[in-house]
Amino acid sequence: MGFVDKELPIEWVELLPMEESLNFARLNNWKNLELESDCTSLVNRFNKRNKYLTLLGYRLREIHRQSFYFRFFNFRRAPRCCNKVADFICN
């Protein structure tokens, strides 16, 4: 874990912890994984990842391939008000 000292689009910023969470779950042999994000754009892009012929679309397809390791995998949107840490930082 660490930090990135760059200016990145929000989708890329949200993508990094998503990948870290996926790797952490695999290292701990978890079989079920549900990830949430308040970034609607990233959730929509993940659900329509085959339509995006971009570097972000490629990364999302790679993450989707890694999700086959899990018996259950879900990535969904969570309202920011439900994410108390993000809500606290933004306010």
The string of pLDDT tens digits covering residues 12-67 is 888 888 899 999 999 999 999 998 888 888 888 888 877 777 888 888 899 899 89
Rg over alpha carbons for the chain, rounded to the nearest Å, is: 13
The pLDDT value recorded for residue 25 is: 94
Cβ neighbors of 1 (< 8 A, separation 6 or more) are 20
**Tokens describing residue 59:** 């990364």
d(CA 12, CA 18): 10
Question: Which of 14, 23, 17, 12 is CA-nearest to residue 54?
Answer: 12
